[in-house]
Amino acid sequence: MKDAIGDLSDQISDAASDIGAVAQEQAKRGLKHARANIESVANDASDRLGFVADRAQSHAASLGDSFGDAIQERPLSTLALALGLGFLTGVILRR
């Protein structure tokens, strides 16, 4: 009877060890899968951010060109507008 109980104990110990090894392997696979997903999301976000930055830079350059053209075409109007905006800003900040 003692031998039977000892054998059963050994079988239970081996089964528990096998279950632990399987669980560890599944955890490793899950971690690899999660890392791949995170890297994919990060790469997509980086690509989108780069596209948005390029578009913003393009629009800023276009706006700067437009302002430059307006200043060259109408320098007095531009000066009057700048003075008016400066005065308005001063009044608002003074309060």
Decide if pLDDT at 58 tops 80: yes
- pLDDT tier for residue 2 given thresholds of 50, 70 and 90: low
Q: What is the pLDDT of residue 83?
A: 93
Q: What's the whole-model pTM score?
A: 0.46
Q: How many domains are contained in the chain? A: 1
- pLDDT tier for residue 92 given thresholds of 50, 70 and 90: very high
Residues in the chain: 95
- Distance, in Å, from the CA atom of 11 to the CA atom of 82, rounded to the nearest integer, reads 88
Q: What is the pLDDT of residue 84?
A: 93
35 half-sphere exposure, CB direction, 13 A CA radius: 6
More confidently predicted of 2 and 19? 19
In the predicted model, what is the mean pLDDT of the chain?
86
Range of the domain at 10: 2-94
CB 78 within 8 A of CB 70: yes
